């Protein structure tokens, strides 16, 4: 009896032992779903419009590339108007529902775009439908979700998530060009609609989880947090809930908006007009599509490097590197007179803009924290909007007047040079900044 009693008495000790967390961290599934959203969302929307530009201009705008570019600028206006409200919803409610709404709107817009008969219908579909839908299903929503799941690995997680868009950039231009040649732009948009809806709705509905607490997890995962207690420090900015008035008084908020507004306007103008510029200087359409793919390939290769740099040394140095690469590439595009020079410029530009999306999220979440990230990400669109609006139409106007894009690329390169001042007003973030704070405490 004594032996039996002693065996029973040890059971409570076993029950109170600390559990060991060995399961796979679900945050990486969130990264995979985000990459799929970027692959199909950005892939179809951004990497096809330059290839379709000539056909859209000839059929809907009497050959004017300015008016087709203005339609995408109208989409940016719509996105900026609704972004603060969507950002507010993302902070307080379900990003998954917002993303699903955007997927349905974008798929419907592709169907309507396939039947567009004139310019005003094009403006309605692209300017309103695409502007609203892409804001709901794009980076504003899934970046918010990735930020909720990651802290110490945030730079790398965001970089891997946005690789989906870069992989799309490698694959989409040749595929879209072949699709355009075989079935035309209208049926191509119908294909976009079907793939967008039937691929993304099941993936988002089944696998996207809004926050770690939904499945009894924590940011970075229980296993990492339990194994690295010395890395867990409290950062006041990360838990602060910002009012919009306070955001507008913060210098980092304006610096981030202006720097990435400049990057965004260069990106939108380049993605829309680069294909036309390459064919104008004598590059065949098929080789021009391959230049776009090379650009996206180097963007994909660069994203893990940028993510690691951001986590290691912070935002400032990494942003400076991205700006210098983009500015140099734009000068090369302006001077390009051969296929080899165009490829070199494309590869350099791809590496430079590989940091645009992950560094924007990294810098903004470092400066404004994760609690109000959605609202900050929405409101900052108004800071970026003037720059994004003017770039594509201005490049189209310069082409209409001069018959060349060379001056437009040089102006954009100068804008990258001015943007080099911005990182001076941003917090660095990253491991180096975290260690500095630990030592000061």
Q: Answer for the pair 342, 278: CB distance below 8 angstroms, yes or no.
A: yes
Instruction: Give the pLDDT confidence score for residue 189 in this predicted structure.
Output: 92
DSSP 124: I
**Two tokens, residue 103:** 């997927």
Residue with token string 């986590």:
311
Highest-confidence segment of 160-174, 232-246, 312-326, 362-376: 312-326
Q: What is the DSSP track for 333-383?
A: HHH--SHHHHHHHHHHHHHHHTTHHHHHHHHHHHHH-STTHHHHHHHHHHH
Largest pairwise CA distance in the chain: 101
Q: What is the pLDDT of residues 326-383, one digit of tens each?
A: 999 999 999 988 889 999 999 999 999 888 888 888 888 888 877 778 888 888 888 8
Instruction: Give the pLDDT confidence score for residue 20 in this predicted structure.
Output: 47
Region of residue 158 (left: phi > 0; alpha: psi -120 to 50; beta: else)? alpha
pLDDT band at 10 (very low <50, low <70, confident <90, very high): very low
* Distance set, CA 203 to CA 35, 184, 319 (Å): 11, 29, 32
Average pLDDT over residues 308-333: 89
**pLDDT of 226 higher than 90:** no
Instruction: Give the pLDDT confidence score for residue 333 in this predicted structure.
Output: 92
Average pLDDT over residues 70-97: 86
Number of Cβ within 10 Å of residue 24's Cβ equals: 9
Q: Answer for the pair 21, 221: CB distance below 8 angstroms, yes or no.
A: yes
Of 3.40.1710.10, 1.20.1250.20, 3.30.110.40, 3.40.50.620, the CATH number of 26-224+235-440 is 1.20.1250.20
Average pLDDT over residues 90-108: 92
Average pLDDT over residues 118-144: 90
Lowest mean pLDDT among 144-148, 176-180, 371-375: 371-375
* Distance set, CA 118 to CA 43, 44, 60, 115, 121 (Å): 25, 22, 5, 10, 6
pLDDT band at 132 (very low <50, low <70, confident <90, very high): very high
**In terms of pTM, does the model score above 0.85?**
no
């Amino acid at each position: 009896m004594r032996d039996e009693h002693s065996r029973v008495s040890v059971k409570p000790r076993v029950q109170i032992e600390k559990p060991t967390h060995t399961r796979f961290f679900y945050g990486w599934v969130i990264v995979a779903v985000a990459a799929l959203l970027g692959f199909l969302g950005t892939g179809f929307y951004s990497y096809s419009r330059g290839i379709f530009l000539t056909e859209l201009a000839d059929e809907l705008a009497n050959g004017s590339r300015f008016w087709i570019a203005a339609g995408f600028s109208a989409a940016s206006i719509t996105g900026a108007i609704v972004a603060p409200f969507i950002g507010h919803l993302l902070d307080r409610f379900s990003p998954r529902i917002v993303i699903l709404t955007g997927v349905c709107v974008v798929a419907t817009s592709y169907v309507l775009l396939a039947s567009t008969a004139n310019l005003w219908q094009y403006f309605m579909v692209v300017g309103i439908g695409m502007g609203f839908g892409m804001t709901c299903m794009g980076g504003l929503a899934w970046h918010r979700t990735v930020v909720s799941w990651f802290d110490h690995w945030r730079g790398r997680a965001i970089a891997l998530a946005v690789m989906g868009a870069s992989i799309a950039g490698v694959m989409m231009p040749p595929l879209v060009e072949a699709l355009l040649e075989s079935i035309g732009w209208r049926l191509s948009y119908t294909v976009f609609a079907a793939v967008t809806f039937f691929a993304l709705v099941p993936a988002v509905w089944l696998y996207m989880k809004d926050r770690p607490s939904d499945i009894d997890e924590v940011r970075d995962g229980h296993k990492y947090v339990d194994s690295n207690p010395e890395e867990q420090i409290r950062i006041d900015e990360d838990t602060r809930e910002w009012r919009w008035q306070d955001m507008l008084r913060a210098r980092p908020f304006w610096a981030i908006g202006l720097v990435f507004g400049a990057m965004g306007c260069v990106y939108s103008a380049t993605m829309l007009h680069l294909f036309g510029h390459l064919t104008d200087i004598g590059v065949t359409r098929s080789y021009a599509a391959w230049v776009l793919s090379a650009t996206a390939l180097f963007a994909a290769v660069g994203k893990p490097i940028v993510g690691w740099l951001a986590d290691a040394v912070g935002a400032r140095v990494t942003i400076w590197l991205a700006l210098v690469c983009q500015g140099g590439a734009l000068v090369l595009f302006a001077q390009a007179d051969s296929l080899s020079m165009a490829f070199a410029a494309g590869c350099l530009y791809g590496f430079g803009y590989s940091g645009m999306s992950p560094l924007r999220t990294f810098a903004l979440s470092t400066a404004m924290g994760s609690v109000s990230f959605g609202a900050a990400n929405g409101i900052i669109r108004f800071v970026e909007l003037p720059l994004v609006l003017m770039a594509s139409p201005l490049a189209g106007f310069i082409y209409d007047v001069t018959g060349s894009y060379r001056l437009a690329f040089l102006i954009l390169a100068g804008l990258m040079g001015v943007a080099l001042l911005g990182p001076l007003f941003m917090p660095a973030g990253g491991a180096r900044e975290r260690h500095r704070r630990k030592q000061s405490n």
